[in-house]
Amino acid sequence: MDNLLMYVDGKWKASLSGKTIEFLDPSDQQPLGTIPRGEKADVDTAVSAARKAFESELWRTIKPHERGYILTEMANKIRLNKDELANLETSDVGKPLSQAYSDVEAAARYFEFYAGAADKIMGETIPIEDGIIDFTVRDPIGVTAHIIPWNYPIQISSRSTAAAIATGNTVVLKTAEDTSLTALKLAEYFHETNLPKGVFNVITGLGHEAGAALSTHPDVNHITFTGSVATGKQIMKSAAENIVPVTLELGGKSPNIVFADCNEEAALNGVVRSIIQNAGQTCSAGSRLLIEANYKDRFLSLLKEKFKKVTIGPGKDDYDLGPILSKGQFDKVSSFIEKAWEEGEVITGGERVNVKGFEGGYYLQPTIIDQISHESDIAQQEIFGPVLSTFSFEDEQKAVELANGTDYGLVTGIWTENIGKAHRIVDKVLAGQLFINNYGAGGGIQMPFGGYKRSGFGREKGLIALKNYTQLKNVAIKYK
Per-residue pLDDT tens over the stretch 416-434? 999 999 999 999 999 999 9
Residues near 402 by beta carbon (within 8 Å), at least 6 away in sequence: 255, 288, 290, 374, 391, 393
Q: What is the pLDDT of residue 282?
A: 95
Whether pTM exceeds 0.75: yes
Closest CA to 225 of 113, 140, 107, 144: 144
Q: What is the pLDDT of residue 133?
A: 97
Calpha distance 379→364 (Å, rounded): 19
CB 257 within 8 A of CB 468: no
Q: What is the pLDDT of residue 440?
A: 83
Single out the catalytic residue among 39, 73, 209, 249.
249
Q: What is the pLDDT of residue 1?
A: 59
What crossing angle do the helices spanning 97-117 and 153-166 adopt, rounded to 10°?
0
* 256: three-class secondary structure by DSSP: strand
What's the farthest any 2 CA atoms get from each other in the chain?
Answer: 83
- Is the backbone of residue 165 left (phi > 0), alpha (psi -120 to 50) or beta? alpha
Q: What is the dihedral of CA 256, 103, 212, 216, to 10 degrees?
A: -90
Indicate if 249 belongs to the active site.
Answer: yes
pLDDT digits (tens, 9 = 90+) for 366-389: 999 999 999 999 999 999 999 999
Q: What is the pLDDT of residue 441?
A: 64
For residue 267, give the H/E element and its range: helix 264-276
Closest CA to 21 of 48, 43, 39: 39
Q: What is the pLDDT of residue 88?
A: 98
Q: What is the pLDDT of residue 247?
A: 98
Q: What is the pLDDT of residue 195?
A: 98
264, exposed or middle or buried, with CB in 10 Å at 0-12, 13-18, 19+? middle
CB 463 within 8 A of CB 117: yes
Q: Which domains does the chain have, with CATH numbers?
A: 6-250+457-476 (3.40.605.10), 254-444 (3.40.309.10)
pLDDT by position in tens, the chain (length 480) = 579 999 999 999 999 999 999 999 999 999 999 999 999 999 999 999 999 999 999 999 999 999 999 999 999 999 999 999 999 999 999 999 999 999 999 999 999 999 999 999 999 999 999 999 999 999 999 999 999 999 999 999 999 999 999 999 999 999 999 999 999 999 999 999 999 999 999 999 999 999 999 999 999 999 999 999 999 999 999 999 999 999 999 989 999 999 999 999 999 999 999 999 999 999 999 999 999 999 999 999 999 999 999 999 999 999 999 999 999 999 999 999 999 999 999 999 999 999 999 999 999 999 999 999 999 999 999 999 999 999 999 999 999 999 999 999 999 999 999 999 999 999 999 999 999 999 986 568 999 999 999 999 999 999 999 999 999 999 999 998
Calpha distance 79→115 (Å, rounded): 15
For residue 266, give the H/E element and its range: helix 264-276
For residue 308, give the H/E element and its range: helix 296-308
Q: What is the pLDDT of residue 26?
A: 98
Closest CA to 154 of 185, 177, 114, 178: 185
* CA-angle at 87, arms to 86 and 90, nearest 5°: 85
Q: What is the pLDDT of residue 444?
A: 83
Closest CA to 286 of 165, 383, 185: 383
